[in-house]
Structure formats: C-alpha cells, structure tokens
Amino acid sequence: MKIVVIGNGMVGFKFCEKLIAKAQPQQFDIVVFGEEIRPAYDRVHLSEFFSGKTADDLLMSPFNWYTDNNITLHLSDPVTNIDRAAKTVTSHKGITENYDVLVIATGSSAFVPPIPGVEKDGVFIYRTIEDLELMQAYAKKAKKGAVIGGGLLGLEAAKAMLDLGITDTTVIEFAPRLMPRQIDEAASNILTNKLETLGLKIATSKNTSQILGDTAITGMQFSDDTNIEVDMLVISAGIKPRDEVAKLCGLEVGLRGGIVVNEQLQTSDASIYAIGECALYNGMIYGLVAPGYDMANVVATNLTAPPPLQREDLEPSINNDFIVSSSSIVPPLGDQGASFIGFDMSTKLKLIGIDVASFGDPFIQNKDTRTIVFEDTMKGIYKRINITGDGKYLLGGILIGDAEAYNMLLQTSKNKIVLPPNAEDVILGSRGGESEAGAGVLSLPDDAIVCSCESVTKAGICTAVSESGCETIDAIKKCTKAGTGCGGCVPMVKDLMLHTMKAQGKYVRNVICEHFDYSRQELLDLVKMDQLKTYDEVLDTFGKGDGCEICKPLVASVLASLWNDMILAKGNATAQDSNDRFLANIQKGGSYSVVPRIPGGEITPEKLIVIGSVAKKYNLYTKITGGQRIDLFGAHLSDLPKIWEELIAAGFESGHAYGKSLRTVKSCVGSTWCRFGLHDSVSFAIQIEERYRGLRSPHKLKGGVSGCIRECAEAQSKDFGIIATEKGWNLYVCGNGGSKPQHALLLASDLDSATLIKYLDRMLMFYIKTADPLTRTATWLNKMEGGINYLRNVVVNDSLGIGEILEQEMQALVDSYKCEWKEAIENPEIRKRFSHFVNAPEEKDPTMKFEPMREQKKVTDWK
C-alpha cells in the first residue's frame, strides 16, 4: 500500500515513526513531502535555538533515518495539488505521486492580525527556524522589542527576544490578562509580576491599530491613543491551520479554517486523513503537540491493524472508477479501530523559567463546585484547584511558580481518584498528617496515561518493569518510549519503577552495573580492606564479566581516592574515563582543551605571557573559565605532551579540569586590596586549592573564598564556600550552581583557619567515602538522612568517632600529591599514547577542521 504524507513537521514525522514501528516490513511504500528545507524538527523547543542549540540538535531524526526506513523524503517541496479522482498529488517542483492513502499533516502558520503596517521591516513571525535566523540577524541592531500575543506562543517569543539580548521588550495582549485560555486572573497577575522582574513589560487590554515607520518599524500605535517606540516586533498571536491544498481539492473545511475530520481522522474523502494542527475535530483545532501525536497514533494504528469488519457507508463518495479493488485499497474502518475522541488540553510548561500549568477545567466555578486557592505573592506561587461540592473529586486547576504536583493532580482529576479528607493537602502537601506524599502514584488505575506524549499507561510502565525486566529509566524509555517526548513524566515513571520493584520484593539499591553487585560505598570499603590497586584486581575479586564504561571510571576513581597512585600507571590507564586517560577534556571534533592550575585565580604577568605564547605557538583558542583560570582549546592529541612540557617548565601544573576532582577555589581579591575585605581571601584560597589539588572524588569539587559578606567569590554556590567574618571564617558546604542551583548551608561559623581545614578534611573525606557515583555534594546532602544536622554532627561533633581517621586519610592523600602531567611527560611509555595514529604518530587527525571566529579559531560544527 502506498502512503503519501503531506507535511514533515513534528506530527507528520511522528506518524511515520509510529507507522514504521507498527507495520510489517515492506507493508507500506511511504513518500513524504515537506515544505521546509530541513527534516522535521522540534518546534516545541524552538527558543532553545537562541540559547545555544543548533538546528541539527533540534531535528527529530537525522536525514538518514528516512532513507534507513525506506521513506522517500522530498524537502523544500510543498504539495500544491491533490487530484482525488486520480489519487495523485503534485508538488511545487512538479513531482507527481499516486497514493492509496493520503495523510495531510500540513500544520499551521502564524496568525497575523490585519494591522496596517505588518509588512514593514523589523516585523517577524515566530514559527520556523528560518524565522529565527531572520530574527537573529535583525536583533543585532534592535534595542526596543515588542511581542504581539500574551499566550503560550507569545511568551515563548518573548523569551526568544530576551535570549537575543533585547531586554527592553513589551508583551502586548489584547485580552485583559496573559494566557487567557489557560489561567485565571490571579494566576495571570502572579505570572505578570514574575515576568516583570525579568525585565519584560506587560501591556494587557491593548489593541494595536497601526505599525509606525517608513520602511522599517519605529513604533506601535494602539487604539487607546497610546503608542510605544519599537524597532523589532514579533507577532505570535495564534495559529491558522494550513488547509489551502485541502480546500483546493474540495475537502470539507471549517468556517474559520481547518480540515474537517471524523474520529478516525478521516476527511470528507475516506482515503485522505488529516492530523495535527491542520485538522478540525469536533469544531476544534488542537494547537499542542500531544494531541497531534495522538492523532498520528490513531491513523497509524488503523492503517496497520485493520479490524475485520468494514462499514460500507464510509467508502469514498467520489467517483469509484479509478479504484481497482476497494477492499484492498480503502483503509478499512470499523468499530474496533482506534479513534480520536478529543484531547485533554492540560499543559505544563516552563515559560522563561517559570512553571505554568493548567489541567482539567481550570475555571469552573458554580454552586456545585468549590475552589481552593493558595497564593504566595512573595515567592510568586499560585495554586488553584476546583473540586466537587462534596470535596471528593478534583475537576481541574492552575499552578504557577511551582508545578511539581502537576502530574499527580492531572491523574487525580482524569481518573476520578477520591481526594484526601483535607483536599488542600494535594497542593500544600500533608502538614503533619499521616498520609505519605508520593504514595499517590500507586492509587492510579492501570489505564491512567502517565506519558501523554507517547500514550503510555501506568500498566504499560509497570509491566515493562515486572515482565520485561526494565529496571532503569533508560531501559523503560527504550522499551515503552515513555518519557522520550517532553520528559515531564520521568519523575512519575521513576516512582512507578521503584514501587513496582519494591512490590516484587526486590531490594532496591544502587548497584554499580552488571559487573559489580555493590554500591560505590560498599566497593570502596572492600577495595580498601583488600588493599587492591588495579582495576583488573578489583574486577577479579569483587566483580564479574569484563567491565564497562560505568564501572571502569568508578573503580579508577575509588582507587585514586584510596591510594593516589598515578592514574595512567600500567593496569589502570584504560580503566580511566576517556578524559582522564588523556589528562585533558575532549572537545567537539576530537581536539582537547588544556587548563593549567591557577590557584585562587592569582597569576603573575610572566605566567600570563607563557600561557599566551604557548597558545600562539600551538594555535589554541583561549577563554577565561568560570573558575578564574584560562582554558586553551583546540589542541591536537599529539601536541598535549609538548604543550605541557612548556607549561610545566614555566611552573604550571595540571588543573585537573578533566577529572572528577578538585577544580578551583575561586576567590575575591580580599583584604590585601579591597577596602571592605576582612581577611586575605586570596591567600586562603591558594592554601586550600593547593591542599586538595588532584583529589579524586565521586564528582567534581569546586570551592570559593570570599573576604567579606558581599560574597564576590560566590562561595555559597560551591561544594564548599568560605566567607570571612569579623572573628574568623564561616564554612558553608554542599552548594551547587549548574542546572539545579542550591545555596551551600552553614556548617560552622567563626572558625580559625586550622579548624576550618580540619572540618573540611573530614567533610570531603566523608563525601568521598559515602557518596554515590557522579553525585555532587549538594545531591549527596539532599539524600542524606538528617541532612545538614547529621553532617554537622559527624564533622563538627564527631558523632561517629571517625573524625581523626578522616583527617589522617586526607593528610595521606595531600602528602602523596604529584602533578600527573609532569609524570606523564617524563614517562616514555605513557607519552607514547598521545598520538592519533599508532602507525603514523607524527600525523594529526586530518578530519579535524577549524574555522576563524573573532580573530581566533573555532571547531567546525558537528553534523
């Protein structure tokens, strides 16, 4: 059977993916026409294009996915004509293809309101990667931005403007509040406040009457006789279904656009389907990706699993002369087939870093219902739930600022789960009561849809765990596809997985991998007891099989933490993580970066000159890092020893930027220069950094020392942060920057330097000995029962009586420190490994390509 798909957007792609997954090999001949120059990409995350993702990163699947699956893909070639009688389509470039089944997935375009002046330069729509590229080019000369549309799409566009550096941006909404379709007024006020703190201006109840300017936009005139200056405008006010080609061939379309479809997504021509944002079901266009995916799934299911019965009245109403054999060609339909029955428009998303969610009926308010509202204008949190008059069932609600409970609430309302006696607990959490939060996931019925992007039920996930033996999130993703779309359900999937495993009587613990049936902490103790020194000894004694990329670096790190031997010594070199193996960080293209240690960020002019001349000699790109040192990028593998030879000769040593080990101790300039400084933060930072340099740990370690409470070293975002007080130092621990920022917590105050180092020795060694692999100190503390109070007891009050041992162990590591790069360049056996070709050691990798950028070089981007 030959299937032609018009449109290669997210939904069109998903249809192909579902069809391939369900079909027998060679069952279908699939031809896809796409209007854009690229294969389908992730439009939902379009704004990430401005925060660093490339167009390629956003692709749903690379081009060769289509060829690998025998799909003919015509790009930059929209279908311009459908001949329903002949069952052919013709494209813009003149390609004609016949079809047995036609699927229209043309999506939508931006709705542009008929405002005089919309054609002026500087006015953009926000829809495709090309739109973004045009915006990017124009944004360089723009200062004052505006976005028409205060809905989901409009706020996404506003984020894009911020990402483009246009911080003076006004969001203009016709309705009296933001997101009028999803949230109520109070929620909208909270959202407005939050957006305003980010610098956006919000103007509601505004109707744009004219766009001002000669050829390019200079301002906007509103119907209330006000106006603003604007030199770049993005219109993101809604969508318009792309139904032109359907209309042209006489398919039924809605009054305000959209191709009319039935429950099977069939149009008025039974051989033609419409899915996604171009389809009008029950008078409604579904402008979200999840219902689009659902539609794709319905059509793919019905095409691949035809129910036995056919309904004759659904055969095509057009001239049948061309149909050879209707039974084999007309897609069979029946009562048992899948059908689309509308879609819950509940959404949860992060808008400019703010959680916004609405589910069920967010607005309902009448004599039979009750509403519970929690509002915290201080923190910018708003939660509303609507419940039945008897308090038993959840009907819908809104969450702003904190949407963690979204999945659970959505399931509770969808599945009519009886609410707890105090219904407010579901948004406020149980306060002192007996019921355990998180147990809720178990009360879901089996057919509750947990992953709505891929329509995976609770039973589907639990079965994957109990029957197919999926005991990791990755395994579940692979087996069920749950969590592979927006990813919002992953925490619930994990809960379900753990509960299912526990229910099966499995002792859930963090064993390392298939080769070691121990946790990291257990293995560390065993290795220490048996005094094992190499990876193979550890594997032979405590493991099985041949190891892998999970246990090798873990064991290598444990060995380094215990014995501090040169990590590339014979027997352990190939067990190191790939970066440790070459004592450098691999970068795009296969080159490496070099980071010499600059303790406390203090460096002499002479050393700066050495870094500069080495960088020039080896043609390296230089950049100041976040940790107050200098990173040299683009080094060929074979140049690394030569580069380090020169750096070491000038007094540098390894910065361990490649290792799970101490990176830097950042410092402010401190009392030696600063008029506010209380103590010499630089000297103390250098002392601390030199003490712990080369210390291998479960994850990287960062520190900071600030000379006063102004905290210029941002020490409270580090694994350990030290802040000067009038009487000494305050020690903060287990902070984190990165994707989940967390302030360090005060461990002890007003310490002298020696006591502080003692406490730090104990805390770091305790971390090394007890943390799970690849766990930063912040997560380690979050998981620790008793939290900071317990840690304080261990470290300060020595409640376990191990304080002295921890100090001794740390001192042994400090005393055995050697610069591993110095050892590497002095050892011919190790040095020999730094070449790209074993049989042509002098030759560099010819595939490595660089191109100029801002008077330096950059690596040519990967495909």
Partner 1 sequence: MEESTKNTSPNSSKPSITDDKYTWFFACDSADVPDNGGVCVKYNEDQIALFHFTRRGEWYATQNECPHRKQMALSRGMIGSQNDEPKVACPFHKKTFSLITGECLSGDECAITTYPVSVVNGKVYIGMPANNN
* Binding region for partner 1 (CB under 8 A): 65, 68, 474, 478, 514-515, 536, 545-549, 551-553, 570-571, 573-575, 577-579, 581-582, 586, 588-590, 833, 836-840, 843, 845, 847-848, 862-863
Strand partners, 745: 733
Question: Residue written as tokens 């549309």?
Answer: 149
Report the distance separating Cα 94 and Cα 82, nearest Å.
Answer: 12
Query: What are the tokens at 83?
Result: 């001949």
Q: How far is the CB of 577 from partner 1 (least distance, A)?
A: 7
> What is residue 411's three-state secondary structure?
helix
Q: How far is the CB of 547 from partner 1 (least distance, A)?
A: 5
Stated as kind and residue range, the H or E segment containing 792 is helix 787-795
Q: How far is the CB of 51 from partner 1 (least distance, A)?
A: 20
Nearer to partner 1, 68 or 83 (CB): 68
Q: How far is the CB of 632 from partner 1 (least distance, A)?
A: 19
Q: How far is the CB of 444 from partner 1 (least distance, A)?
A: 27
Nearer to partner 1, 68 or 750 (CB): 68
User: Would you say 769 and 521 are in contact if contact means Cβ atoms under 8 Å apart?
Assistant: yes
CA dist list (Å): 696 to 567, 663, 682, 693, 813: 10, 10, 23, 9, 9
User: Would you say 551 and 622 are in contact if contact means Cβ atoms under 8 Å apart?
Assistant: no
Question: Residue written as tokens 């200056």?
Answer: 229
Q: How far is the CB of 599 from partner 1 (least distance, A)?
A: 29
Q: How far is the CB of 293 from partner 1 (least distance, A)?
A: 20
* Secondary structure string (H, E, C) spanning 730-766: EEEECCECCCCCECCEEEEEEECHHHHHHHHHHHHHH
Nearer to partner 1, 146 or 583 (CB): 583
Q: How far is the CB of 505 from partner 1 (least distance, A)?
A: 24
Nearer to partner 1, 44 or 848 (CB): 848
Nearer to partner 1, 28 or 582 (CB): 582
Report the distance separating Cα 387 and Cα 413, nearest Å.
Answer: 9
User: Would you say 342 and 280 are in contact if contact means Cβ atoms under 8 Å apart?
Assistant: no
Report the distance separating Cα 42 and Cα 56, nearest Å.
Answer: 10
Q: Which residues contact 352 (CB under 8 A, 6 or more apart)?
A: 155, 158, 159, 162, 195, 198, 200
Nearer to partner 1, 368 or 829 (CB): 829
Nearer to partner 1, 78 or 543 (CB): 543
For 190, what's the count of Cα atoms within 13 Å in the CB-facing half-sphere? 26
> What is residue 633's three-state secondary structure?
strand
Nearer to partner 1, 414 or 515 (CB): 515
Q: How far is the CB of 586 from partner 1 (least distance, A)?
A: 5
- Long-range interactions of 305-311: CB distance < 8 A, separation 24+: 305/22, 305/337, 306/331, 306/332, 306/334, 306/337, 307/332, 307/333, 307/334, 307/335, 307/336, 307/337, 308/334, 308/336, 309/334, 309/335, 309/336, 310/334
Q: How far is the CB of 590 from partner 1 (least distance, A)?
A: 5
Nearer to partner 1, 62 or 342 (CB): 62
Nearer to partner 1, 24 or 839 (CB): 839
Nearer to partner 1, 393 or 658 (CB): 658
| Type of residue found at 825 | I
Q: How far is the CB of 61 from partner 1 (least distance, A)?
A: 8
Report the distance separating Cα 102 and Cα 111, nearest Å.
Answer: 26
Nearer to partner 1, 40 or 796 (CB): 40
Nearer to partner 1, 237 or 476 (CB): 476
> What is residue 507's three-state secondary structure?
coil
User: Would you say 480 and 450 are in contact if contact means Cβ atoms under 8 Å apart?
Assistant: no
* Secondary structure string (H, E, C) spanning 520-550: HHHHHHHHHHHCCCCHHHHHHHHCCCCCCCC
* Secondary structure string (H, E, C) spanning 308-361: CCCCHHHCCCCCHHHCCCHHHHCCCCCCCCCCCCCCCCCEEEEECCEEEEEEEC
Q: How far is the CB of 549 from partner 1 (least distance, A)?
A: 4
Q: How far is the CB of 57 from partner 1 (least distance, A)?
A: 10
Nearer to partner 1, 154 or 553 (CB): 553
- 396: region left, alpha or beta (phi > 0 left; psi from -120 to 50 alpha): left
Q: How far is the CB of 596 from partner 1 (least distance, A)?
A: 22
Nearer to partner 1, 120 or 844 (CB): 844
Q: How far is the CB of 543 from partner 1 (least distance, A)?
A: 11
| Type of residue found at 779 | T
Q: How far is the CB of 476 from partner 1 (least distance, A)?
A: 12
Q: How far is the CB of 579 from partner 1 (least distance, A)?
A: 7
Query: What are the tokens at 71?
Result: 């799909």
Q: How far is the CB of 484 from partner 1 (least distance, A)?
A: 10
Nearer to partner 1, 20 or 426 (CB): 20
Burial class (CB in 10 A: 0-12, 13-18, 19+), 856: middle
Strand partners, 233: 123, 146
Rg of the chain in Å (alpha carbons): 31
Report the distance separating Cα 729 and Cα 738, nearest Å.
Answer: 25
Report the distance separating Cα 851 and Cα 863, nearest Å.
Answer: 15
Nearer to partner 1, 23 or 82 (CB): 23
Nearer to partner 1, 108 or 835 (CB): 835
Please give the full DSSP string across 150-178, using - where no structure is assigned.
Answer: -SHHHHHHHHHHHHTT--EEEEE-SSSSS
- 798: region left, alpha or beta (phi > 0 left; psi from -120 to 50 alpha): left
